[in-house]
C-alpha cells in the first residue's frame, strides 16, 4: 500500500490526469471555490445575526447582552460553518468521483479492447487493483489534497480540535476507498462498458447511503456505519452529535470505529474476489471458491449477531428473532448459490471425473447444491449459538430451535430450487443466462403473488395454502411455532423437492450430451 506511488497503473493515471497545467488549473479553481464557500458561510452567519437584531428590536428578545454575545461568536460560527461545508463537500466529491470512475474502470478497458494487454502484463492482480483504485479517481484525491490545509486551518481556528480533523479525514478517505473498491468489483462484472453504468452506480450509491443510514433506527444500527453520514457530523462539529452510538456485542463504540471495521471486513472480501478474478477470462470468473463462499456466509451470520441491538422499549422474542435470522440467511444462501454456479465446461469435466470416481459432490467444479446445504448447516449452528448468546434479552425456548430448523429447511429448499434453475439456464448457453434466469424467477414470484391474491378472495386459508406451496413465505409468516406448521408448508417443501429433483435430472441430461464436434466431410 505504501508503494502505490511507483505502481505502473497508478503512474499511468497520474500522468494522464495530473499534467502540470491541469494540476495548476484545478488548484486555482479549488482555491476560488474555497473563497466563495467562505464568503457564503460568513454571509449566512451575518444574516442570522441580523435576523436576531430585528427580532430584538421588535419583540425584545434576544436581549442586548445576548446580541453582544452573538456578535462575539460571529467569527467562530462562520469558521465552523465554513469548515463543515468544506468537509461535507470533500466527502461528497471523493465518494461520488471514486464510484463513478472505478465503476467504469475494468468494463471501459474491455470496451476499448485494452484489457487483455493489461491482464497479460507481469503486474499482479493486487497491483492492478491498487493502481486502478487510487489511479482512476486521482484527480478527486488531488482536489481533497488542495483543500486539506485550508480545511485544517479553519477547523483549528474554529476550535474543532486536531484529533477531530484527522479523524474526519480518515473517515472520508476510508469511505471513498471502500466505495471505489465496490465500484471496481461492480465494473469487473460487466463484459462491456455501458454509458448507464456510471449512472447506475451513482444511483446505487444514493440508495446505499440512504438505506444504510436508516439502519440507525433498526435492530442492526451498526450497519449505518457503511454511510459516512453516520459518523461525520460528530467529527465536524465541536459539540458532536446526539446520534446514538452503535453497538458491537452490546457494547457501544464510536461511529468512526464501526465504519472502519465494516470497511476493512467487507473490503477484504471484495479485494479477495477481485484478486481471484481480475486476470481471468470473463467466462472463467468465479467470485469465491466454494469453501470461501461458505466462510463468507458464516462471517455474515456472525456479523448479524455481533451488530444486533434490540430496542429497549420493545425487545423481540426468540421466535421473531429466529424468523428474522432465517430470512436474512435466505438472502445469504442465495448469494452463496450464485457465487458457486459452475461454468458449463468445468461442470462437464466434473461429471466425467465423477463417472470415473475421481471427484466428489464437494468439489470446486461440482454442482452448487451441496454447498448450499453446508452453508445452511453452518447458519443453523450459528443460530443456536446466537440464541444462547442473547438468551438474557430474548429469552430461550426450545420451540425456537425446532421452528428455526423447519424454517431453515424450507428456505434452503426454495433457494436450492432457484439456484439449480439458474445453473440449468447457464447450461443452455443462453445469452446473459443469469440475467434471463433471474427475470424468469421474478416472473414466477409475481405470478405466485397474483395467485395468492386470487385465492385469498375465497378465504384467507386458501391464500395461505397457495403461498405456502409456491413460496417460503408460509414458513416465515411468524404465526407458527415449534413443529406446528400448517400442512401447506410441508406440502410446499415436498412439492419443491420434486421440482429440485426434476432440475437435477435436466442438468444431468445436459451433462450427458456429447460435446458438439465439427462434421468431417469426405471426398
Task: Return the number of other C-beta atoms located less than 10 Å from residue 247's C-beta.
Answer: 18
Task: Measure the CA–CA gap between 160 and 344, rounded to whole angstroms.
Answer: 59
> Above 50 in pLDDT, residue 145?
yes
Mean pLDDT of 493-520: 80
User: pLDDT band at residue 518, thresholds of 50, 70 and 90?
Assistant: very low
As a whole-number percent, the residues of the chain with pLDDT over 90 amount to: 32
Mean pLDDT of 252-276: 92
Distances (CA, A) of 502 to 62, 96, 337, 498, 510: 79, 47, 18, 6, 12
* pLDDT tens figures, 160-183: 888 999 999 999 999 999 999 988
- Predicted model pTM: 0.86
User: pLDDT band at residue 456, thresholds of 50, 70 and 90?
Assistant: confident
Task: Measure the CA–CA gap between 106 and 195, rounded to whole angstroms.
Answer: 14
| pLDDT on residue 377 | 94
Task: Measure the CA–CA gap between 376 and 408, rounded to whole angstroms.
Answer: 7
| pLDDT on residue 279 | 82
User: pLDDT band at residue 230, thresholds of 50, 70 and 90?
Assistant: confident
Task: Measure the CA–CA gap between 248 and 308, rounded to whole angstroms.
Answer: 8
Q: Give me the DSSP letters along 168-208.
A: HHHHHHHHHHHHHHHHHHHHHT-SS--HHHHHHHHHHHHHH
Q: Which residues of 311-340 are buried (b: 16+ CB within 10 A; e: fewer)?
A: eeeeebebbebbbbbbeebbebbbbbbbbb
Task: Measure the CA–CA gap between 64 and 46, rounded to whole angstroms.
Answer: 16
> Above 50 in pLDDT, residue 478?
yes
> Above 80 in pLDDT, residue 63?
no
| pLDDT on residue 138 | 93
Task: Measure the CA–CA gap between 94 and 468, rounded to whole angstroms.
Answer: 47
> Above 90 in pLDDT, residue 434?
no
User: pLDDT band at residue 442, thresholds of 50, 70 and 90?
Assistant: very high
Q: What share of the chain is helix, strand, coil (3-state, %, to 5)?
A: 75, 0, 20
Mean pLDDT of 76-85: 88
Mean pLDDT of 34-56: 82
Q: How far is CA 440 from the centre of its chain?
A: 24
| pLDDT on residue 523 | 34
Task: Measure the CA–CA gap between 206 and 95, rounded to whole angstroms.
Answer: 11
Give the ranges where 288-343 is alpha helix by DSSP (H): 290-307, 318-339
Residue in 438, 454, 495 with CA at minimum distance from that of residue 471: 495
The residue with greater pLDDT, 422 or 360, is: 422
Which stretch of DSSP H or E encloses residue 248? strand 247-248
| pLDDT on residue 239 | 62
Question: Can you give the residue ranges of every domain in the chain?
Answer: 1-285, 292-513
481 bridge partner residues: 484
**Residue 415, C-beta contacts closer than 8 angstroms, at least 6 positions apart:** 330, 333, 334, 337, 372
Mean pLDDT of 133-141: 92
Look at 226-235, 360-369, 460-469, 475-484 and tell me which has the smallest mean pLDDT.
475-484
Task: Measure the CA–CA gap between 424 and 404, rounded to whole angstroms.
Answer: 30
Task: Measure the CA–CA gap between 401 and 475, rounded to whole angstroms.
Answer: 14
Helix (H) and strand (E) counts for the chain? 20, 2
The overall average pLDDT reported for the chain is: 84
Mean pLDDT of 113-121: 81
Amino acid at each position: 500500500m505504501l508503494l502505490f506511488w511507483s505502481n505502473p497503473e497508478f503512474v499511468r493515471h497520474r500522468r494522464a490526469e495530473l499534467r502540470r497545467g491541469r494540476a495548476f488549473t484545478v488548484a486555482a479553481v479549488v482555491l476560488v471555490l474555497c473563497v466563495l464557500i467562505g464568503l457564503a458561510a460568513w454571509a449566512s452567519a451575518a444574516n442570522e445575526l441580523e435576523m436576531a437584531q430585528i427580532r430584538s428590536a421588535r419583540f425584545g428578545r434576544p436581549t442586548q447582552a445576548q446580541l453582544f454575545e452573538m456578535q462575539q461568536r460571529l467569527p467562530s460560527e462562520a469558521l465552523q460553518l465554513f469548515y463543515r461545508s468544506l468537509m461535507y463537500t470533500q466527502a461528497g466529491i471523493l465518494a461520488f468521483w471514486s464510484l463513478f470512475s472505478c465503476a467504469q474502470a475494468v468494463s471501459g478497458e474491455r470496451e476499448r479492447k485494452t484489457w487483455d494487454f493489461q491482464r497479460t502484463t507481469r503486474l499482479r492482480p493486487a497491483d492492478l487493483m491498487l493502481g486502478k483504485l487510487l489511479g482512476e479517481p486521482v484527480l478527486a484525491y488531488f482536489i481533497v489534497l488542495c483543500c486539506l490545509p485550508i480545511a485544517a486551518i479553519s477547523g483549528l481556528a474554529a476550535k474543532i480540535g486536531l484529533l477531530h480533523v484527522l479523524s474526519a479525514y480518515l473517515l472520508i478517505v476510508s469511505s471513498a476507498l471502500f466505495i471505489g473498491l465496490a465500484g471496481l468489483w461492480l465494473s469487473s462484472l460487466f463484459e462491456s462498458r455501458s454509458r448507464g453504468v456510471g449512472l447506475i452506480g451513482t444511483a446505487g450509491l444514493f440508495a446505499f447511503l440512504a438505506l444504510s443510514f436508516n439502519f440507525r433506527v433498526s435492530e442492526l444500527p451498526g450497519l449505518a456505519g457503511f454511510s459516512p453520514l453516520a459518523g461525520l457530523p460528530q467529527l465536524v462539529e465541536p459539540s458532536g452529535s446526539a446520534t446514538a452510538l452503535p453497538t458491537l456485542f452490546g457494547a457501544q463504540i464510536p461511529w468512526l470505529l464501526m465504519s472502519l471495521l465494516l470497511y476493512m471486513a467487507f473490503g477484504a472480501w471484495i479485494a479477495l474476489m477481485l484478486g481471484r478474478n481480475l486476470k481471468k477470462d470473463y467466462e472463467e470468473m468465479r467470485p469465491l471458491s466454494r469453501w470461501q463462499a461458505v466462510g463468507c456466509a458464516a462471517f455474515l451470520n456472525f456479523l448479524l449477531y455481533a451488530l444486533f441491538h434490540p430496542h429497549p422499549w420493545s425487545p423481540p422474542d426468540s421466535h421473531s428473532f429466529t424468523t428474522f435470522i432465517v430470512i436474512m440467511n435466505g438472502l445469504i444462501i442465495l448469494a452463496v448459490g450464485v457465487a458457486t454456479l459452475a461454468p458449463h465446461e468445468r461442470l462437464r469435466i466434473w461429471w466425467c471425473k465423477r463417472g470415473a470416481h475421481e471427484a466428489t459432490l464437494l468439489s470446486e467444479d461440482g454442482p452448487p447444491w451441496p454447498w448450499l446445504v453446508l452453508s445452511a448447516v453452518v447458519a443453523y449452528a450459528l443460530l443456536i449459538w446466537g440464541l444462547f448468546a442473547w438468551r438474557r434479552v430474548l429469552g430461550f425456548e426450545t420451540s425456537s430451535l425446532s421452528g428455526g430448523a423447519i424454517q431453515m429447511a424450507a428456505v434452503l429448499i426454495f433457494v436450492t430450487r432457484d439456484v439449480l434453475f439458474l445453473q440449468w439456464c447457464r447450461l443452455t448457453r443462453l445469452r446473459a443466462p443469469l440475467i434471463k434466469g433471474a427475470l424468469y424467477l421474478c416472473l414466477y414470484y409475481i405470478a405466485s403473488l397474483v395467485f395468492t391474491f386470487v385465492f385469498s378472495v375465497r378465504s384467507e386459508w386458501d391464500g395461505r395454502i397457495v403461498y405456502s406451496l409456491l413460496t417460503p413465505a408460509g414458513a416465515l409468516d411468524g404465526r407458527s411455532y415449534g413443529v406446528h406448521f400448517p400442512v401447506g408448508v410441508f406440502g410446499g417443501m415436498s412439492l419443491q423437492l420434486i421440482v429440485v429433483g426434476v432440475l437435477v435430472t435436466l442438468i444431468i441430461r445436459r451433462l450427458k450430451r456429447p460435446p458438439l464436434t465439427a462434421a468431417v466431410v469426405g471426398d
